Structure 1
Amino acid sequence: MADWTKQLPGPAQAYLENRRLDEVECVIADLPGIARGKAVPASKFARQSYFHLPDSIFYQTITGDWGEAAGEDGFIERDMILKPDMGTATAAPWTGDWTLQVIHDAYDRDGDPIPFSPRNVLKRVVGLYKEQGWKPIVAPEMEFFLIARNLDPARDIEPMTGRSGRPAAARQAYSMTAVDEFGPVIDDIYDFAEAQGFEIDGITQEGGAGQLEINLRHGDPVKLADEVFYFKRLIREAALRHDCFATFMAKPIADEPGSAMHIHHSIVDMETGRNVFVGPQGGETDAFYHFIAGLQNHMPAALAVMAPYVNSYRRYVRDHAAPINLEWARDNRTTGIRVPLSGPDSRRIENRIAGMDCNPYLGIAASLACGYLGLMEEKRPRRQFYGDAYEGEGDIPQVMGQALELFDEATALHKVLGEEFARVYGIVKRAEYEEFLQVISPWEREHLLLNV
């Protein structure tokens, strides 16, 4: 092996032991969270310290069109300098040869981070916490569906057929039999995760037909966002091996629950090592309540980042396992903000609003940004909610257009996420929304064509 491979993380070195590395995939997440980059021979990667991609990859909509976000100089597609973070090097175990993936960070020609690169946005928010002497900790939960192969967008999405030969059934949450139906896919997910050095905290059947949840261990926000970014690709590849698709759409199947990326937050005082949500006698601190207030006060404006597509808002349906408001409560899964059962040292706050369709870097960054603003503003949250929060009123945007209007006006949030990011993101998402509005849906043809 070349000398540089001896500096790789342990799992990557173990993957390559007694094998010849063929290729390195140099990747970076764009605004939707799609892996962009280049695949290069290992020998070439060993000789390069960076490579180039045009900044226009961050102006693309999910359809492949572009938002007019290039700035004063126009759409000239400047080259960015992409430098590898070798701590992210991991296997691509589904490939036919011996391949590594390495996440890169984006810089301009002066060496400054590209402000609208999602990984840089999250690093910026984490840096603001560190300036206050805090270390944010997160633990994401990933929900997704395994579905039958769908090659025709006009067809409804259907659950995959399990090993019994029957389509996956809904309303079987936490059923081990239901998990066993997907055994071959889950086995490959575990095998791929082990090869990549990722620790899965558990896999459970969720309430939807063919819906699963994977929990990850808590840790550094950037590291966990990297893992979710990698996991999305890993899970898709495992599904394809078994003639099905994995989808992370927020609401892929009508009348089924949607898929969330619940985010658990805690904060450690870097000087003392203590959880700032916990007082000397184990009680809840002012910081605990300020963080909740930040989520309540700023999440409506951040929703365009945590729920980034028109489909995202179909998930927020009363009594369908997704919150419709920003009430908070202890051990209550009907509220948007939940405080799980835990001992004082592991006290945390769970954001149940973010959809699994969000870019993990941006979803985590936006959630942390709301909490940070709460800590800075030192406001108190609304009173704890008791009972079924679905019986209350909704207080989050119901459509993408409304969410974008709130995001565009959120100057305090822009300062935390970065004003240039906010500018580019708003333009790209608005272009994407306008693309959607040009499409006539089957519902419109069915009910309006001959009746209005």
Structure 2
Amino acid sequence: MSAQKKEARSTGRGARVRTPAFLQSLRGVSDLKQATAWLESRGIEDIECITPDQAGVARGKMMPSKKFTSNTSLALPSAVFMATISGGYPEDGHGFVYPEDDGDLKLVPDLSTLSIVPWESDPTAQVICDLVHQDGRSIEFTPRNVLRRILAAYAEHGLRPVVAPEIEFYLVRKNPDPDYPLEPPVGRSGRAIGGGQGYSIAGVNEFDELIDDIYHFSEAQGLEIDTLIHEEGAGQLEINLRHGDPIELADQVFMFKRTIREAAFKHDTYATFMAKPIQGQPGSAMHIHQSIVDLKTGNNVFTAIDGTETEAFRHFIGGMQRHVPSALVMFAPYVNSYRRLTQSASAPVNTKWGYDNRTTAFRVPRSDPAGRRVENRIPSSDANPYLAIAASLACGLIGMLNKEHCDAPVGTSANEDEIDLPRGLLEAVELFEGDDALRDLLGSDFVTTYAAIKKAEFETFMEVISPWEREYLLLNV
């Protein structure tokens, strides 16, 4: 019997019985029996069974906790994972076929993610779910499964990835009318926040109470924040997470986005993860730090015994350089995402790499040899964390398997050079569909479904007339 399951036995009159360790856990239990006791001990009335859709939005069902613990069958329509961000559906074509029956997919709760929902007034819990077909077969096109597929490919070669995401976001004034531009919020000083606040403690202190709620909500869910800073943009913050298992870290980003939005709502403010929410301000990124561990030795395969760089390290970067442009639609999934990827901005527009060079797409931070890693600086914060991590790791794995050679590192500024990445959503989708190595790793069902969704979203965007068109075309053409 594990220590987690043991209870201290009474040894005499008045002896105290120790509470089982799983009941004290803030996040996760082992099985349904433990889940039942965990929920009862907290007086939980309702539970949210959630899963990320292609946009990373939480979809699912809420039910009484007693129904959940009765091992009831849960399902969602397959169409949920084929919908655009605006709620529409793509047309058939290019390998994508919308299922006529819109059959159900089975939700399978991952009890290791069980936690409370701290912003709800009634005692409520939440659990992230995986999806399978009704007969138990795996589903290729759902985001959590896409990432699991990539991790399985690494495991086949005796490897395990380790990642650490960094997520930037903006706090903005409430904006119920989408026709009006977003504005920075008013902090405790009573004045609107200005830009140029990078690493400013005073900038963070402007939102002390809101940030306290982010920490309190996170702690209650068993989520760990490594550091929090104020970024360059007006009201732009960044949260860094500790390194770990890719699924666990994607789950944390998924939960942090919900948590940060709810904390902001409590303070009559919006938190947005749009890539470029405010004109003239820096965009928001989701940088991904990556290293690869040998399953047998537990050593970082990027570092040799003598502490030098390995061929695997160079091949991983080579794969990133060759295939990230084809995977860009998973890092920059919306029309707005490409407004962030512009020359002479804080975001990279290249496929170059360098040592501690923040103008390159792939930065190798300063570290000791055991901590050698590659930071992918291209993803924007609007990306689905499961898909962004999956795509980044897939590109690196292709490089290692095919022994792709990387270019020489760059020691100078690189983000004013020629743009190496697709300049828009449709160009990115075309590259995505044409990369056979990526398709083989990610799965054809996912590639065709995701590409169809992105094309449909672009067509919806094209129906909107922008202020730029009214300003410059109305009376001039």
TM-score (norm 1): 0.96
Quick check: 2:28–2:111 contact (8 Å CA) kept in 1? no
The alignment partner of 1:365 has SS state of helix
Are 2:167 and 1:152 equivalent residues in the alignment?
Answer: no
Structure 1's 365 and 52: CA in aligned 2 closer, same or farther, altered over 3 A?
A: same
> What is the aligned counterpart of 1:44 among 64, 67, 89?
67
Residue number in structure 2 paired with 1:112: 137
Structure 1's 122 and 334: CA in aligned 2 closer, same or farther, altered over 3 A?
A: same
Cα-Cα RMSD: 1.7
Residue number in structure 2 paired with 1:58: 81
Cα displacement (A) at 1:110: 2.3
Are 2:263 and 1:238 equivalent residues in the alignment?
Answer: yes
Matches within 5 A, 1:272-311: 272-311=297-336
> What is the aligned counterpart of 1:23 among 33, 38, 46?
46
| Larger Rg, first or second structure (1 or 2) | 2
Matches within 5 A, 1:218-237: 218-237=243-262
Residue number in structure 2 paired with 1:11: 26
Q: Any gaps of 5 or more consecutive residues in structure 1?
A: none
Are 2:460 and 1:435 equivalent residues in the alignment?
Answer: yes
Cα displacement (A) at 1:383: 0.9
Matches within 5 A, 1:15-414: 19-68=42-91, 74-414=99-439
Deviations 1:173-209, CA, capped at 9 Å, x for gaps: 0000000001111000000010011111000000000
CA distance in 2, matches of 1:73, 1:243: 40
Quick check: 2:344–2:416 contact (8 Å CA) kept in 1? no
Kindly provide the amino acid, as one letter, of the partner of residue 333 in structure 2: P
CA distance in 1, matches of 2:25, 2:197: 38
CA distance in 2, matches of 1:43, 1:317: 52
Structure 1's 344 and 362: CA in aligned 2 closer, same or farther, altered over 3 A?
A: same
CA distance in 2, matches of 1:387, 1:374: 25
Quick check: 2:343–2:417 contact (8 Å CA) kept in 1? no
TM-score (norm 2): 0.91
Structure 1's 398 and 360: CA in aligned 2 closer, same or farther, altered over 3 A?
A: same
Deviations 1:291-316, CA, capped at 9 Å, x for gaps: 00011000001001110000000001
Deviations 1:334-379, CA, capped at 9 Å, x for gaps: 1110000000011100000001000010010000110011111102
Quick check: 1:256–1:320 contact (8 Å CA) kept in 2? no
The alignment partner of 2:127 has SS state of strand
Cα displacement (A) at 1:451: 0.9
CA distance in 2, matches of 1:61, 1:277: 38
Structure 1's 444 and 13: CA in aligned 2 closer, same or farther, altered over 3 A?
A: closer
Kindly provide the amino acid, as one letter, of the partner of residue 282 in structure 1: G
CA distance in 1, matches of 2:223, 2:339: 31
Quick check: 1:27–1:35 contact (8 Å CA) kept in 2? yes
CA distance in 2, matches of 1:356, 1:201: 18
CA distance in 2, matches of 1:283, 1:95: 51
CA distance in 1, matches of 2:371, 2:24: 28
Aligned length: 448
Deviations 1:40-93, CA, capped at 9 Å, x for gaps: 001101112530110000110000111135965743210111110000111110
Q: Any gaps of 5 or more consecutive residues in structure 2?
A: 1-19, 30-37
Quick check: 1:148–1:159 contact (8 Å CA) kept in 2? yes
Quick check: 1:133–1:270 contact (8 Å CA) kept in 2? yes
Quick check: 1:9–1:87 contact (8 Å CA) kept in 2? no
Quick check: 1:296–1:326 contact (8 Å CA) kept in 2? yes
CA distance in 1, matches of 2:72, 2:39: 21
Deviations 1:380-423, CA, capped at 9 Å, x for gaps: 11111121112321100111111111111111101111111001
CA distance in 2, matches of 1:22, 1:391: 55
CA distance in 2, matches of 1:390, 1:449: 34
CA distance in 2, matches of 1:48, 1:409: 43
Structure 1's 71 and 256: CA in aligned 2 closer, same or farther, altered over 3 A?
A: closer
